[in-house]
Chain A
């Protein structure tokens, strides 16, 4: 290896590689591996993207979109930062708050990017095992003493288990005020009504809280890469100073505005996902297969991927192997379009009758 290559390689040694969900063996609709929206974005989004296509020579200007989104969320613009997918936000947070000699606290398993950026920063990484799919908040709060950042995805990916508002308040009271708590709410829209924490109230009480969201899931804009942070201006200001100035492009801004302007589409899409999730969980109950009751658009199921794989192949479906997500022996099933889910349920029944006593 060249000297320069050696330097580069040493920088990423030990870093896990992010592996995206595999495509299905059949049609695109059979892909139940990436937590994507089965119905896609609303029709007004493609119209907005076509309109944006007329001005590719202009630098993007996010002020109107930021204004629109802040109003929608009931926060000020100084509390809001748009990023190139919520993954960019992970990198910015790590760059801002983590470094060699600092400590990051994560669940185990955790969201892969949170782990990657923490390791890359050179910080000490403390992993706190989940208990029955849920964060062990007591142990995490204890680990947060002397930590600089704590990553808290809720609902958790890949378990789908969420932290309630009450649990979160008690937890945040225990975490030191100089440790940033990153509450990643990528999947909060899919939570049962009434279970999602009240973000405005939490931000008012806890200045060390940062709420992370994405437009990739319930808003179905995964390909456009838009996420955002909501936090105190004292956090948002410095983060925006280190964000590349044009990291959210014109298409993403146009798509975001159009999506937010048509909330009925998001409401309908989310309703379908909740129905599909209830059907899948009822089926798993009747098959006697273990799973974590989910508040997200996926369900983590205790079936070994390699055992189910032939049945999925036959049905033209793909799901995510838990081995990729720190849960070997499990699979993560994204809630898809109703006909796709019927096909999946048929495959699960065939598997279950051929391979009894699984799970």
Chain B
């Protein structure tokens, strides 16, 4: 019987350590997982800096996780099944929930309301688990959750124009790019990204660099950067009648040009998590895993995660960091 698991612990005073967490025993409707890989998301880095959104301390973050079922008392999953964790924990009881889990008025996330993926074992409700297609590598399946987010964002944008400006080429920007070109390989994607390693990845994956010397408004601008003026910059760079898709969370209140939004007939679109895209993302990963391989640029062992997270601001990764559990 497994009673404890190694886990990354975030205390309320924001100290990080590798420690142990007690595991409850799974009951009917739950499963015990041996987690294999978890992805580091920008929102994890936000919580590490701020402690925002966490309900119970110490927290174990990580909402992009894949693992294998070790025990499932209700029999919903066969032991040994590889599963991806659905990161959303909706209340199930509000008007938003009647439409989609990501529209829940009290939406919480794995890693904030329940312990997340940066641990070796987890007990989770089976409703949060999706069986992987047979043969999908765990190292690729770990991208399912952020890919679902990117797919949802692209769905929210509606019909795609011939040219897109992508501001920010962190992991979610890269996945949005990948999803746009998966749907329409010939769309011209321009990228504005100051980090040379990230720009190099964008160019390698077929994007072009947005040259500030030739400013040009574009019909769709995706804000995947989330710096203080990134929404305002996106509004500056979008064509009249065009769309700004806000994917990155701004970390402070922002000021917008309301007159411009009205007079230039702009669409400003937000997107929270994903709706029904998670199984679609898993199928896309399964159909062409090599397409997604370059997006994972760094992998750390759980025992090295505290050290890596502590220098992440001075040494940002080129792409997605995944954690081997």
Residues of A within 8 A of B (CB): 27, 29, 38-40, 42-44, 262, 264-265, 267-269, 271-272, 275, 337-343, 345-346
Contact = CB atoms under 8 A, between A and B. Distances in A.
Contacts of B109: none
Given A43-B206, A339-B139, A264 B296 contact: no
A346 B204 contact: no
Interface in B87-127: none
11 contacts: A38-B293, A39-B294, A262-B204, A264-B200, A267-B204, A271-B197, A275-B297, A337-B139, A339-B296, A342-B299, A342-B301
Contacts of A342: 299-301, 322, 324
Given A27-B137, A339-B37, A268 B201 contact: yes
Nearest to B205: A43
B290 interface: yes
Q: Which of A39, A271, A339 has the most CB of B within 10 A?
A: A339
B203 interface: yes
- For chain B, the bracket of interface size reads 20 to 34
B107 to A, nearest CB: 30
Q: Which of B200, B206, B290, B294 has the most CB of A within 10 A?
A: B294
Interface in B121-147: 137, 139
A345 B301 contact: yes
Contacts of B276: none
Given A268-B200, A268-B201, A271-B197, A39 B293 contact: yes
A346 B201 contact: no
Majority secondary structure of chain B interface residues (helix, strand, loop or mixed)? mixed
Contacts of A40: 290, 293
A27 B290 CA distance: 13
Nearest to A345: B301
B297 A338 contact: yes
A221 to B, nearest CB: 15
Nearest to A342: B299
Given A271-B197, A339-B139, A42 B204 contact: yes
A268 B294 contact: yes
Contacts of A39: 290, 293-294
Nearest to A267: B200
Q: Which 7 A-B pairs have the closest CB atoms?
A: A268-B204, A342-B299, A264-B203, A339-B139, A338-B299, A339-B299, A264-B204
Given A27-B137, A29-B139, A43-B206, A339 B324 contact: yes
A146 B206 CA distance: 52
B200 A271 contact: yes
A265 B301 contact: no
B187 to A, nearest CB: 14
Contacts of A340: 139
B63 to A, nearest CB: 19
B162 interface: no
Given A39-B293, A346-B301, A265 B324 contact: no
Q: Which of A27, A39, A338, A343 has the most CB of B within 10 A?
A: A338
Contacts of B300: 342
A345 B139 CA distance: 15
Contacts of A265: 204
Contacts of B324: 339, 342-343, 346
Contacts of A341: 299
Contacts of A275: 297-298
A346 B200 CA distance: 29
B322 A339 contact: yes
Contact of B297 (A43, A262, A267, A272): A272
